[in-house]
Amino acid sequence: MKLGRAALALLLLAPCVVRAVEPISLGLALAGVLTGYISYPRLYCYFAECCGQRRSLSREALQKDLDNRLFGQHLAKKVILNAVTGFLSNPKPKKPLTLSLHGWTGTGKNFVSKIIAENIYEGGLNSDYVHLFVATLHFPHASNVTLYKDQLQLWIRGNVSACARSIFIFDEMDKMPAGLIDAIKPFLDYYDVVDEVSYQRAIFIFLSNAGAERIMDVALDFWRSGRSREDIRLKDMEQALSVSVFNNRNSGFWHSSLIARNLIDYFVPFLPLEYKHLKMCVRVEMESRGYEVDEDIVTRVADEMTFFPKEERVFSDKGCKTVFTKLDYYLD
């Protein structure tokens, strides 16, 4: 696929060069060839994936993706949009961008990382410059933590040397062996260079369930007192979140120097989803699979989900995570 695009770039470039040589004036031809040569990298990167941004990130496109595909997360939307566009438009950031996304499963954390990756690299999560680490997959044994630390440092150093605008996503932070994440602290700090490599343009995204209960408490308080969930502000969450994550033995950040040293730029809360949000997920999924939205099916899928707390049944306990498999049943 990559080769194909590169070949296409060459094919398209070839006629320009040939046409430029046709005129009798050698000077003109030379100028044409030179221009072709100079604009080659830009043209090449237009067709093949290159490090950095393929097209410059568009705030509108990112906003549109978040609006159309992420539901019930007004806080996350706002923080992500501002943090990512602000960082990418800064020509000389002082440190890499570090986002820590928190919330129940199925609330959209993985989804948001995917959207960010796709808005920066055409290949999204499959891009050569986007690296996903899943704790239980890449770092399964707590006893190997020393080995993992060395490995992780080598990987990050290697990848950032090859491409300064690399994206690293750490999923299941809450299942990371304690202390492992501190291995990357030197890369996240305010240093111009570490061992001749500058990490300041890289992006680190951490995903975890840690703090989800704290987020749920706040959301439930708002719901019980009849206040709109959209009135929840970041400051209702942020401080409590960073403290609870830091003090949670199972957070992957337990007593981590990343938090103690304020190296996480944003703690982004993902609120638990309500019935109406599940329906939105089902509708979008039906559309994306090429079906016409059938409200009867939408309701039936949403009705199958389980909700908590037991008495009030407000929030879906798996978010939108399993609606997709449940939908299969109705569409087949």
Ligand X SMILES: *[C@@H]1O[C@H](CO)[C@@H](O)[C@H](O)[C@H]1NC(C)=O
The annotation places the binding site for ATP at: 103-110
Residue 126 found at the interface with ligand X (CB under 6 A): no
**Structure-token pair, residue 144:** 């190997």
Nearer to ligand X, 10 or 164 (CB): 164
Radius of gyration in angstroms for the set of CA atoms belonging to the chain, rounded to a whole number: 23
Choice from 77, 114, 131, 321 touching ligand X (CB under 6 A): 131
Asked whether the beta carbons of 175 and 252 are under 8 A apart, the reply is: yes
The residue number with the shortest CB distance to ligand X is 158
Q: Are strands 307-308 and 97-103 parallel, antiparallel or unpaired?
A: unpaired
Any idea what DSSP says for residue 317?
T
**Buried b or exposed e, range 53-64, using 16+ CB within 10 angstroms:** ebeebeeeebbe
DSSP H stretches of helix in the chain: 2-21, 26-47, 59-69, 74-89, 109-120, 135-138, 145-162, 185-188, 212-224, 234-246, 257-260, 275-288, 295-304, 323-331
Nearer to ligand X, 184 or 327 (CB): 184
Q: Shortest distance, CB of residue 144 to ligand X, whole angstroms?
A: 4
Query: Quick count: other Cβ atoms within 10 Å of Cβ 245?
Result: 25
Nearer to ligand X, 169 or 282 (CB): 169
Q: Shortest distance, CB of residue 307 to ligand X, whole angstroms?
A: 37
Q: Contacts with ligand X: how many residues (CB under 6 A)?
A: 10
Nearer to ligand X, 38 or 162 (CB): 162
133 to 162: interface string for ligand X, x by CB under 6 A: --------x-xx--x------xx--xx--x
Q: Shortest distance, CB of residue 93 to ligand X, whole angstroms?
A: 21
Interaction with ligand X in 2-41: which residues (CB under 6 A)? none
Nearer to ligand X, 50 or 62 (CB): 50
Which positions lie near ligand X, rule CB under 6 A? 131, 141, 143-144, 147, 154-155, 158-159, 162
